Chains A and B, each alone.
Chain A
Amino acid sequence: MLRQIEGSRAVAESVALSRPEVICAYPITPQTHIVEALSELVRDGHIKPCEFINVESEFAALSVAIGSSAAGARSYTATASQGLLFMAEAVYNASGLGLPIVMTIGNRAIGAPINIWNDHSDSMSMRDSGWIQLHAETNQEAADLHIQAFRLAEELSCPVMVCMDGFILTHAYEQVDIPTQQQVDDFLPPFEPRQVLDPQHPMSIGAMVGPDAFLEVRYLSHNKQIRALERIPALNREFAAIFGRDSGGLLRTYRSEDAETIVVALGSVNGTIQEVVDQLREEGHLIGSVSLCSYRPFPTEAIREALEAARRVVVIDKSLAVGMGGILATDVQSALMGGVPFLYTVIAGLGGRTISQASLRDVFLKAEREELSDVTFLDLNQDLIARHFVRESKQRLSGPTAENLLRDITEIAARIG
């Protein structure tokens, strides 16, 4: 049924339709509305049987999910930013134990400086943790991906993160088609783990593994994700047959068939990119884009296929490998193996900085003229940076950078003294 609802609410409702049995909640902006909605759906009996547990930290949230999943219950939690980092140890543990937990990430920047707005630094920090990472482009996709995520996680015995841009998606109200319980039940069978903590059939889970088998355990984890490269498109097709729409998959191309310039990005910014592509196409530019849904596993083959005919690729990276450059861009580059003459990294939208159509248009045209530098920081305030360097050259002192910059912006200077 089509409804005009908030992204978080849509996700909560699709999680509810997936019949979770244990939900662990700890508040962190911008995912709070999801667990708030779920607490309501558990209390009013929409989800049953289900245990909703308010825990004391994100570390506990995922730890409770580890316990409940190991004991055979379909388990869900949601987090973002600092919360994901606080539970980092448990993130690796859940995948190492092969527990099919599903977790929403309301993508948000990581401090310091503390910042509640959107970028992809949080989930990127966990890209090598063994979790599957799926990025939603729209709220409809965010809702749909959760249903697919439980199925995928349980088929492969591998946890899945569904990443949705904080605020841009989590807090946006738009039309979302919420499926029926029957549709979800047809797609998602009950969770039947191959091993559980059962007093009747005792087994030890989580033993110490030394050099004799650790490599093999890690290889199998890698192998699971390689298998996911086949399962993700297959589930997408099956999903489409039942729900009547295309959601998820490894990636989606947009007007890229004959494109000389192809833009690659994760998540909601693809909407803006497609608008700019349309404008530039009207003006006769051969440009297209690729929206990447599956970041882990990384669809190397599919990326290569989508980009190999291009002359240049522009990667919009909402995260930064400090001291190195783009994170997504590095993966794209390694997939291409130099097969495309030019690859440009554009670091954009960090800490919620607006990515405007005008700025994108500007970098795309520069890329087309092959005038773009290898790594560009979109809309970087060059004057502010220059003044900082001047100050730094006068007096070299350790200290917080952010305060320095903010003090320099006059209207804020009045407030912080």
Chain B
Amino acid sequence: MPATTVKFYQTGTFTVGNRLLSIDQQSVQSEPDRSNALNCGHRACQGCGEALGARYAIDAAMRSSSRNLVAVNATGCLEVFSTPYPESSWQIAWLHSLFGNAAAVATGVAAAARVKGKSAVRVIAQGGDGGTTDIGMGCLSGMFERNDDVLYICYDNEAYMNTGVQRSSATPAGARTATTPAIGSVPGNEFGQGKSVPLIAMAHEIPYVATASVANLRDLEQKVEKAIVIGGARYIHIHVPCPLGWGSSSHDTIKLARLAVETGLFPLFEAEFGEITDRTVIRRKQPVEEYLKPQKRFAHLFRPKRDADRISMIQSLADHNIRRFKLEA
């Protein structure tokens, strides 16, 4: 097995004090002069995984691009909570156009930068899972296929949270949402075939694809810092728990994100030109029940009686990921 670089965290399993690390290994957030791209005062809920993910991702991109960054935002929570007119939490050049066109608008921004000779400008498009895996899919695939010079970041909280928690194509099997209510003989979301946008991105053979999690912020920062300087189309899919939509405690955001990784439900990996180049192995594998139980959206799997069949179906999805992405230590 090839050697794996250990990424140190400030909290969690590989805990080490930030001051003990060399400068280049220190987190972006530990810098006193970090950009604070998404400033305080925004309207995100307590414990919002998306706000956390976006701040880390954009700050990392700011550092890596020497603050030469433009971001295009799809409609959604991130857009709404960050820019209630006449206020804005963004400390960067930022544009919101529509729900389903962030990738295309970013293509336009990148084209303008090129034609104006501003080759140092890096362009990010960002959106939630609805804006990415559903309504923005056409523009996203077009941007990938043309290999436009854009880093697209999807903050995946697994449903349309901004409109009140409706099902998206990223909603996991069995989960309750406002449009997949926990009633009837098969409560919650259908067990469909799933839709992995990271794998769809890889099928476009773009230069860089990665998944990341707010449970693993150093890893997230490093992936963004790596991605932002690569030329061509890049995609990072970040798993961001949503206390409101998931029915979880706001102090459990990181814990749930970590359990999603440790159960195998959300595999962390990197891919270049369509081939997986790295993955984060699971050190202490957890059964999916540990992940499901603290979330009200899965409560019907445990009450009034334990739904052993469907829990085992979810477990087999996790096991499949572990085999497929070779996540076992």
- The docked-state distance in angstroms from the alpha carbon of A24 to that of B69 is 23
Asked whether A60 lies within 8 Å of B101 as measured between CB atoms, the reply is: yes
Binds B, one of A49-57, A133-141, A284-292, A331-339: A49-57
Nearest chain A CB to B21 CB, angstrom units: 28
Interface centre among B83, B97, B106, B138 (most CB of A within 10 A): B97
B315: interface (CB < 8 Å): no
- For B88, the closest partner residue in chain A by CB is A204
Closest to A205 in B: B95
Give Cα distance in the complex from A206 to B90, angstroms. Answer: 12
Instruction: Give the residues in chain B near A67, CB-CB below 8 Å.
Output: 72, 95, 97, 104-112
Could you tell me if A205 and B105 are in contact, using CB atoms closer than 8 angstroms? Answer: no
A90 close to B (CB within 8 Å): yes
Once A68-B111, A90-B98 are accepted as A-B contacts, the answer to whether A199 and B83 lie under 8 Å apart by CB is no
Chain B 86-128 residues near chain A, CB threshold 8 A: 86-88, 90-98, 100-101, 104-117, 121
Q: Bound state CA distance, A7 and B108, in angstroms?
A: 28
Q: Which residue of A lies closest to B69 (CB)?
A: A199
Taking a contact as CB atoms under 8 Å apart, the answer to whether A71 and B112 are in contact is: yes
Kindly specify which of A208-216, A309-317, A361-369, A393-401 makes contact with the partner chain.
Answer: A208-216
A54→B139 CA distance, assembly (Å) = 12
Among the listed B96, B98, B113, which residue makes an inter-chain contact with A205, where contact means beta carbons less than 8 Å apart? B96
Most buried by B among A21, A55, A67, A210: A67
Q: Is A203 positioned at the interface, with any CB of B under 8 Å from its CB?
A: yes
Contact (Cβ within 8 A) B109 A202: no
The segment out of B48-56, B140-148, B177-185, B203-211 that lies at the interface is: B140-148
Give the Cβ gap from A314 to chain B, nearest Cβ, in Å: 41
Given contacts A50-B115, A55-B142, contact A210 B105 (CB under 8 A): no
Across the interface, which residues of B come within 8 angstroms of A198, CB to CB? 70, 93
Tell me if A63 and B88 are in contact (CB < 8 A): no
Is A346 interfacial (CB-CB < 8 Å)?
no
Contact of B194 with A by CB under 8 A: no
Q: How far is the CA of A21 from the CA of B112 in the complex (A)?
A: 7
Which residues does chain B contribute within 8 Å of A64, judged by CB atoms? 104-105, 107-108, 111
The reply to whether B85 and A73 form a contact with Cβ atoms under 8 Å apart is: no
CB pair A202–B101 under 8 Å, yes or no, is no
Say yes or no: is A97 at the interface (Cβ < 8 Å to chain B): yes
Q: Which of A280-339 contact B (CB under 8 A)?
A: none
Q: Are B94 and A66 in contact (CB under 8 A)?
A: no
In the bound complex, how far is the Cα of B90 from the Cα of A198, in angstroms? 13
State the Cβ distance, A15 to closest chain B Cβ, in Å. 15
Tell whether, in the assembled complex, residue B86 and residue A197 are in contact, meaning their CB atoms are under 8 Å apart.
no
Q: Nearest-CB distance from A87 to chain B (Å)?
A: 9
CB contacts between A and B, total, < 8 Å: 163
Q: Find out whether the CB atom of B108 lies under 8 angstroms from the CB atom of A22.
A: yes
Q: Is the CB of B146 within 8 A of A53?
A: yes
Indicate whether B63 reaches chain A with its CB closer than 8 angstroms: no
B299 at the interface (CB under 8 A from A): no
Interface core residue of A51, A212, A213 (most chain B CB under 10 Å): A51
Q: Give B104 Cβ to nearest chain A Cβ, in Å.
A: 4
Chain A residues near B139 (CB-CB < 8 A): 56-57, 59-60, 63
User: Is A390 an interface residue when CB atoms closer than 8 A count as contact?
Assistant: no
Chain B CB within 8 A of A176 CB: no
CA A49 to CA B105, docked complex, whole Å: 20
Please measure, in the bound complex, the distance between the C-alpha atom of A72 and the C-alpha atom of B100, giving whole angstroms.
22
Residue in contact with B80 in the complex, picked from A65, A75, A208, CB distance below 8 Å: A208
A93 located at the interface, meaning its Cβ lies under 8 Å from any Cβ of chain B in the complex: yes
With both chains docked as a complex, state the minimum distance between the C-beta of B88 and any C-beta of chain A, in angstroms: 4
User: A253 vs B173: C-alpha distance in the bound complex, in angstroms?
Assistant: 67
B85 in contact with A208 (CB, 8 Å): yes
Q: Is A409 an interface residue (CB 8 A)?
A: no
Q: A57-B142, A67-B97, A204-B94 are in contact. Are A213 and B105 (CB under 8 A)?
A: no
Q: Which residues of B contact A204 (CB under 8 A)?
A: 83, 88, 90, 94-96
Contact of A73 with B84 in the complex, beta carbons under 8 Å: no
Question: From B66, which residue of chain A is reached at the shortest CB distance?
Answer: A199
Q: Among the listed A51, A65, A202, A207, which residue makes an inter-chain contact with B83, where contact means beta carbons less than 8 Å apart?
A: A207
A119 vs chain B, min Cβ distance (A):
28
- Pick the most buried of A199, A206, A207, A212: most chain B CB atoms within 10 A of its CB: A199
A67-103 near B? 1/0 per residue, CB < 8 Å: 1111111010000000000000110010001000000
- Bound complex: CA A391 to CA B111 (Å): 57
**Cross-chain contact B97 with A93 (CB below 8 angstroms):** yes
Chain B 145-163 per-residue mask, 1 if CB under 8 angstroms from chain A, else 0: 1100000000000000000
Provide the A184-200 mask, 1 if CB < 8 A to any CB of B, else 0: 00000000000001110
Asked if residues A205 and B112 are in contact (CB atoms below 8 Å), the reply is no
If the complex has contacts A199-B121, A204-B83, are A60 and B142 also in contact, measured as CB distance less than 8 A?
Answer: yes
B94 and A51 within 8 A (CB):
no
Can you report 11 A-B residue pairs in the complex whose CB atoms are below 8 A from each other?
Answer: A53-B107, A53-B108, A60-B138, A60-B142, A63-B98, A67-B110, A199-B70, A199-B92, A206-B97, A208-B79, A208-B80
Name the 5 nearest CB pairs between A and B, nearest first: A67-B108, A56-B142, A71-B112, A206-B96, A63-B104
Additional A-B contacts beyond A56-B145, A67-B108, A198-B70 (15; CB < 8 A): A22-B108, A22-B115, A51-B112, A56-B138, A56-B142, A59-B101, A60-B104, A64-B104, A67-B110, A71-B109, A75-B112, A203-B93, A203-B94, A205-B96, A210-B84
A interface residues, Cβ below 8 angstroms from B: 21-22, 24, 49-51, 53-57, 59-60, 63-73, 75, 89-90, 93, 97, 197-199, 201-210, 212-213
Using a CB–CB cutoff of 8 Å, the interface residues on chain B facing chain A are: 67-70, 72-73, 79-80, 83-88, 90-98, 100-101, 104-117, 121, 138-139, 141-142, 145-146
